């Protein structure tokens, strides 16, 4: 008979509480904002101070090939180096066993280019 470990979430289920162990930060996953080719975006609320961010969440199941991991690392490196009024601000990034989390400035107004 197979045993089931109920304390570990399934690898494709994004937790409600996200823990950045290195920074000793915890975020509450909130409203779904959208998705792209690799990532899903949610509002994230810092549980210490209530500050709200956008969280770009990428499943590690989608980062199995070396070039995919390199592309993710390059995106983080480029984004953290950019500081401009017209570029979404980078706050931090962290990972757990199943996901990479990129914490970004939450843009309050949506822009339509139609």
Binding-site positions read 56
List the structure tokens of 64. Answer: 């199995």
Binding site residue list for ATP:
56
Distance CA 18, CA 79 (A): 21
CB atoms within 10 A of CB 95: 16
- Helix extents (H) in 1-114: 66-81
CA angle, residues 72, 50, 19, in degrees to nearest 5: 45
């Amino acid at each position: 008979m197979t045993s089931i470990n109920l304390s570990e979430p399934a690898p494709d289920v994004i937790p409600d509480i996200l823990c950045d162990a290195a920074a000793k930060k915890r975020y509450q996953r909130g409203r779904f904002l959208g998705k792209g080719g690799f990532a899903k975006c949610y509002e994230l609320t810092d549980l210490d101070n209530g500050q709200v961010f956008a969280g770009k969440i990428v499943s590690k199941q989608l980062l199995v090939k070396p070039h995919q991991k390199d592309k993710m690392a390059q995106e983080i490196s480029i984004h953290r180096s950019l500081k401009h009024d017209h570029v979404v601000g980078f706050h931090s990034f962290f990972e757990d066993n199943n996901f990479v989390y990129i914490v970004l400035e939450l843009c309050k107004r949506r822009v339509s280019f139609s």
